[in-house]
Every structure is written in structure tokens, then in C-alpha cells.
Amino acid sequence: MEMCNPPHPGEIIREFCIDALELTVKDAAKALGVKPKTLSSLLNARARVSPEMALRLSKVFGRTPEGWLKLQLQFDLGRAEKKVDLSGLKRLEWA
């Protein structure tokens, strides 16, 4: 099952949360209770959505924490599919 090229969650946060609400990174970081540098790293795809950040994003912007983590998982799987060579592997059959 190919994940194609899902966006990094930071892109989604920037477009649909921060830009949509016309917030600065500093204001969004303050609302999330994190340093602007922490949020900037996430927005610029240098950091991942952690469970802690997922809880914060859920409280401030909505969506479930699981939803935020699922975005990160989809991004990670999409990148892995491009890097990992599975051609030499085959499924084991159960007796």
C-alpha cells in the first residue's frame, strides 16, 4: 500500500491552523505553551509531532491527538517507502 507523498504535519499546521487564524509563530507557540523555536522546527519539518505535541495541538487547534499522530505516521511511512528496498523479501507462509 503506497502512501504516495504525504505532507509533513508542519505544513498542515502552518496552512490550516496558523495561517488560517492569521497567527504569528510566536503567538501560536505561546498558545501551545512551547518556545517559538520548538514550533518553528516542527513547521519547517525539522521535528516530528510527538505525543506531547499532539496533545497540545489537539487542545489548541482541535482534532484528536491520534489524528495529529496519524499525520506524522503517514509522513514517516511515505518517506520509508521511498528509502527501503523490499524487493528481496517475501511473505512467509504459515503451516
- The 10s digit of each residue's pLDDT in 13-52 is 999 999 999 999 999 999 999 999 999 999 999 999 999 9
Q: Does 3 score more than 80 pLDDT?
A: no
> C-alpha distances in angstroms, 9 versus 67, 84, 89, 91?
10, 22, 31, 32
Number of Cβ within a 10 Å radius of residue 20: 10
* Domain assignments of the chain as residue spans, ordered by start: 9-81
28, 39 in Cβ contact below 8 A?
yes
DSSP SS3 for 17: helix
pTM of the model: 0.90
What is the DSSP code (8-state) at residue 63?
Answer: S
What gap in Å lies between CA 52 and CA 24, rounded to an integer? 21
- C-alpha grid cell, residue 1: 500500500
Give residue 2's pLDDT band: very low, low, confident or very high (50, 70, 90): low
Give residue 1's pLDDT band: very low, low, confident or very high (50, 70, 90): low
Q: Which fold has domain 9-81?
A: 434 Repressor (Amino-terminal Domain) (1.10.260)
